[in-house]
A and B are shown apart, each in its own frame.
Chain A
Amino acid sequence: KTQVEQSPQSLVVRQGENCVLQCNYSVTPDNHLRWFKQDTGKGLVSLTVLVDQKDKTSNGRYSATLDKDAKHSTLHITATLLDDTATYICVVGDRGSALGRLHFGAGTQLIVIP
């Protein structure tokens, strides 16, 4: 059973527009949640990590929220650039230690057009 669901599956926006990606999960316990960016044909690169019960982070044009009560996270991308075209993957860690498992969503494919 899929424990991390991302929506939308794909999204097309025009350069300069803002967008919001969603992540819902059922992983328990939910120690932390991380967003990765995956360029086509490349590996995953971490964008941000959220830890607290109600958490917010900001990394340049990327900002994210986490609500552990709702088991829900959002990734906001402001003023999109063509280089933002990628797959964005939500990952939930069930423990803070190295013994914990990472639970991966299938990703949202974002395409930014001129």
Chain B
Amino acid sequence: EAAVTQSPRNKVAVTGGKVTLSCNQTNNHNNMYWYRQDTGHGLRLIHYSYGAGSTEKGDIPDGYKASRPSQENFSLILELATPSQTSVYFCASGARTGRNNQAPLFGEGTRLSVL
């Protein structure tokens, strides 16, 4: 069954600390995405990847890095976490063609609190 698995599901970090959010997909999708979801806003794209070894900046990349070591795994790294990065983070995967009838698949989210 197609799946996107995020870990951890919940994380409390201290300001200035390093945080790594992990995402694994078993869909054999080339594309993977990291979004954050904040109250009153739509999902906003942080980083994305077209395949292993590639990472691209999204709309709000400042303060975040990404790593795609393999087709299945895509990580989001906060080198120096700040309270403004408190949010819910979603990973998604999608097929390369991105045709209209192929919906991206989302993980269940990681709730991050930076104190």
Contacts and interface: CB of A to CB of B under 8 A. Distances in A.
Given A45-B106, A91-B42, 17 more contacts: A31-B100, A32-B100, A41-B108, A43-B90, A43-B106, A43-B107, A49-B100, A49-B103, A96-B98, A96-B100, A98-B30, A98-B50, A99-B98, A102-B45, A104-B35, A106-B40, A106-B41
B61 interface: no
A34 interface: yes
Contact of B42 (A95, A98, A107): A107
A106 B42 contact: yes
Interface of B: 4, 30-31, 35, 40-45, 50, 90, 92, 94-101, 103-104, 106-109
Contacts, number: 61
Contact of A44 (B31, B40, B99, B106): B106
A46 interface: yes
